[in-house]
Amino acid sequence: MSCPRCDAPLVAFAVPLVLREHAPAATTAVCTRCLRTFAADGSHEAVDPVAEDPPADPDFSAVDSAFPGGEAGVALALVCGQLESFALNRASVEALVEHAERSGADVFAFFERLDAADAEFDLDRRRAALLDVL
């Protein structure tokens, strides 16, 4: 599976029910380069459906070593997918960040360590906006 925007590999993951309203689909994928998220269950025609069930605890290390495991990692992957349009997705970003923190992630440390030079959003500007909002 590769990103329909930049052709980089994708990491698929199952989205817990509590986070589904913030995800493109129950099975979502995050791009290892541009950090966009896509439906990976066949509901997005540009991304092939995942052949197997995605892992319950996905390994996001292919995206960046800063990602935590478990639901915190899923929440932060979904946040990354929404940062391209922070203003439009602000409520969702805030809810996902709160969930990540409740799940044990240090969100500010994550965004400080995240190396996203090819992300579809300006990481430095988004860090500043997140600090202002949260």
Q: Which stretch of 10-14, 21-25, 55-59 has the lowest confidence by average pLDDT? A: 55-59
pLDDT band of 43, cuts 50, 70, 90: low
Q: Report whether pLDDT(59) > 70.
A: yes
Q: What type of residue sits at position 63?
A: V
Are 93 and 134 spatial neighbours (Cβ–Cβ below 8 Å)?
no
Give me the pLDDT at residue 47, please. 55
Are 12 and 58 spatial neighbours (Cβ–Cβ below 8 Å)?
yes
Q: Report whether pLDDT(50) > 60.
A: no
Give me the pLDDT at residue 131, please. 83
Give me the pLDDT at residue 30, please. 95
CA distances from 23 to 20, 47, 58, 115 (A): 5, 15, 15, 22
Stronger pLDDT, 122 or 45, i.e. the higher one: 122
Q: What are the structure tokens assigned to 94, written together? A: 């805030």
Buried (b) or exposed (e) across 31-57, using 16+ Cβ within 10 A?
Answer: bbbbbbbbbbbeebeebeebeeebeee
Q: Report whether pLDDT(26) > 70.
A: yes
